Amino acid sequence: MGEKHNIYLVQADILRQTPKFRTAYLPYGAGALWAYARQSPRVAERYALGGLFFLRGRVAEAAARMEHPFLVGFSCYCWNTEYNKRLAQAVKAAYPRCHILFGGHNVPPGGAMLDELPYVDFLAHGEGEIPFRALLEALCEPSPDFAAVPGLSWRAGRAVLTNADAAAESVADFPSPYLEGIFDPIVAAHPDIQWSTVWETNRGCPLACAYCDWGRHKAKVREFPMERIVGEIQWMCGNKVEYIWCADANFGLLPRDEDILNELASARGRTGYPFVFLSQTTKSPNERLFRIIETLNRNGLDRAGPDLAVQSMSPEVLRNIGRENMDDETFSHWLRRFRQAGYRTHTDLILGLPGESLRSYCDGVGKLFALGQHRGIWNSLCVLLPNSLMATPAYREKHGIRTTRRIFSHKPNHMPGMPGAQDEPEAEHIAEYIDTVTETAAMPHEDWRTANHFMFLAQGAHGYGLLRLAATYLHTENIVSYADFYLRLLDFCHRHPGTLPGETMAHVEQAFIGGIHGEEAPLSIPGFGAWHMAEDRYIFIRAVLEPERFYGDAAEFLRQFGLEPGLLGQLLRYQRESVLLPGAAEKTLEFEYDFPAYFSAIYGDGKPVPLEKRAVRLRFSFPGHLSPADGYFNSVIRSDRLANDALYRIEETR
């Protein structure tokens, strides 16, 4: 037997770090490929794993670390494809005979990517294990038969050919990269890194959402064996993995998910790890999911609660994307059930789906508020994943979908939502891109912009609570709907640019559109970090830094709704006093109306009661610090305890 050929696998991610910690993801996908491939005796005999590259190091240095690479496989997603291209080019320049393989979610169907990237030799489509192993086996032969490798695009002379994907196999025999020891050298070599990882307990999703690249493979859920799962839990906890991102499409769908979580919770009790278990929960809440959330909370593992995802509230949109939501009553029931038990929930919404108009989108947000989801809407922009149904030319044409190639991340600390995320120190900053839907037949570009501005304002003013009580009163009394309240507030901002909300929204809108077109105009406030600040948080912080001005302007806005001046004054004062502004953690105030009874009926069981005019003495309290010198911003702004809500606890006192 001659010397083995060196295989390198690249699944490069950014390093997330603060002065106190450095954290990175283990390259799960790459590890899974190698664990599966080396089961083949021919692969084991002919190849050795030269290395797994999991951080975006300097391109030249990464290429130089590879010793006579025979094949380098790159896992491509929207956050690393441009980096992969640069590294692949460098490897090919240094080793022209090295085979370059691109695979992963960002490799589109067909062989067009080979035409664009002459330094890439092969593309793997679909699940990677089978094409990867079959390609390595084919390359053992003096005259490889690439036509026999499932899911492969390759060059035959001047032609580019693509083979049919392999049928989805049972995953029961897929070896675990954790248990095969594939990550052990990485963990041993980087004692300074706190690990995050992706974990699969099953693969596949029974649904088929048009925007999702899993949905295209609408497939039976294939389970990994319990023995493997238990072993992986022991490995992850034993190796101090802090953050587990469960990649199951619907955690809680299978009865055994509860057993899996109990096993994880008990391992956490013994080892202290992990700190967080994050999953995409089943789309049909049930008692099992409730118990799962209970277990997560009891063991301190929960960060986000269940996802009562809707994506859209429009029946037409749901038909277009092949999705069915739970009905309003069920949604509201589970929302309140989780809330009454003290658990947060969140609701995913996507902006820019086919068939969604500005009106239907704003009405959908308003409806979620009316159903009780006031503070946990997680809005995303619709993006075109290359392997989704939505990305196909026929679908795009049918729905008039236009996209903008938007920068996904380009510089340290600019990655939305990921404070401190950065490439390896001193690495080149290579921009990554994502195709974002910025216009559809139902939502012209101008409307798309307005819908975004509406959402930022609704999340900042309603989600955090700045104007939630006022909006709730006006909605409940049928004076103005939630959607129109925030649309009118947006209009007020545009017509009154000198007000604080007007000034704030001008900055938000400028930064947003600049970001879409690749300009560097991150939202930031001195003293709050250098990274891009989320728009809703920016709106909230601007208001709490100048509350007199904000609520003075809000009074002017609210006057248009024709409330009797005495009531308006009381409502506005109650609204303002309810928000956690810098100041005292406790206070006692008197009002002429019984606002607590009125709002707790609406936010509690959703059954409104009349607002009673009666003198009340109220105690406002907050368990954290509200003094600016004593940690207000850590308690209120940075703390995830609040989950996007910044209101006092209020009770009547004597």
Contact 9, 49 (CB under 8 A): yes
Cα separation of 29 and 39, whole Å? 16
Pick the binder of ligand SF4 from 103, 111, 215, 252 (CB under 6 A): 215
Restricted to residues 546-575, the positions that interact with ligand SF4 (CB under 6 A) are none
Pick the binder of ligand SF4 from 124, 249, 278, 543 (CB under 6 A): 249
Between 252 and 412, CB nearer to ligand SF4: 252
Cα separation of 351 and 345, whole Å? 20
Number of residues that bind ligand SF4 (CB under 6 A): 9
Pick the binder of ligand SF4 from 66, 212, 236, 466 (CB under 6 A): 212
Phi and psi (nearest 5°) for 195? Answer: -90, 140
Between 390 and 421, CB nearer to ligand SF4: 390
Stretch binding ligand SF4 (CB under 6 A), from 6-14, 134-142, 163-171, 202-210:
202-210
Site string for ligand SF4, 359-378 (x = CB under 6 A): --------------------
Helix (H) or strand (E) holding 236: helix 226-238
CB of residue 385 to ligand SF4, shortest distance in Å: 10
- Using CB under 6 A as the binding rule, whether residue 441 contacts ligand SF4 is answered as no
Site string for ligand SF4, 576-615 (x = CB under 6 A): ----------------------------------------
Amino acid at 218: K
Helix (H/G/I), strand (E/B), else coil: 537: helix
Between 101 and 310, CB nearer to ligand SF4: 310
- Using CB under 6 A as the binding rule, whether residue 207 contacts ligand SF4 is answered as yes
Pick the binder of ligand SF4 from 134, 205, 264, 523 (CB under 6 A): 205
Name the H helices within 48-128. 59-64, 81-94, 112-116
- Using CB under 6 A as the binding rule, whether residue 382 contacts ligand SF4 is answered as no
Between 105 and 303, CB nearer to ligand SF4: 105
Torsion sign, CA atoms 573, 579, 584, 589: positive
Between 138 and 212, CB nearer to ligand SF4: 212
Between 83 and 214, CB nearer to ligand SF4: 214
Two tokens, residue 372: 């009780």
Contact 289, 282 (CB under 8 A): yes
- Using CB under 6 A as the binding rule, whether residue 209 contacts ligand SF4 is answered as yes
Between 390 and 415, CB nearer to ligand SF4: 390
Cα separation of 246 and 170, whole Å? 19
CB of residue 210 to ligand SF4, shortest distance in Å: 9
Q: How many CB atoms lie within 10 A of CB 167?
A: 9
Site string for ligand SF4, 276-305 (x = CB under 6 A): -------x----------------------
Q: How many CB atoms lie within 10 A of CB 562?
A: 8
CB of residue 298 to ligand SF4, shortest distance in Å: 27
CB of residue 206 to ligand SF4, shortest distance in Å: 7
Contact 578, 571 (CB under 8 A): no
Between 105 and 625, CB nearer to ligand SF4: 105
- What is the rounded end-to-end Cα distance, in angstroms, of the chain? 89
- Using CB under 6 A as the binding rule, whether residue 208 contacts ligand SF4 is answered as yes
Phi-psi region at 417: left, alpha or beta (left = phi > 0; alpha = psi -120 to 50): left
- Using CB under 6 A as the binding rule, whether residue 456 contacts ligand SF4 is answered as no
Between 51 and 215, CB nearer to ligand SF4: 215
Two tokens, residue 6: 């060196």
Nearest to 421 by CA among 1, 31, 79: 79
Stretch binding ligand SF4 (CB under 6 A), from 80-88, 206-214, 263-271, 635-643:
206-214
- Using CB under 6 A as the binding rule, whether residue 83 contacts ligand SF4 is answered as no
Two tokens, residue 456: 């930022």
- Using CB under 6 A as the binding rule, whether residue 352 contacts ligand SF4 is answered as no
- Using CB under 6 A as the binding rule, whether residue 214 contacts ligand SF4 is answered as yes
Nearest to 307 by CA among 269, 350, 274: 350
Distances in Å between the Cα of 365 and the Cα atoms of 2, 457, 484 are 64, 12, 11
Two tokens, residue 427: 């690495």
Two tokens, residue 370: 């009316």
Q: How many CB atoms lie within 10 A of CB 114?
A: 20
Give the chain's length.
654
Torsion sign, CA atoms 460, 465, 466, 467: positive
CB of residue 388 to ligand SF4, shortest distance in Å: 9
Contacts with ligand SF4, residue ranges (CB under 6 A): 205, 207-209, 212, 214-215, 249, 283
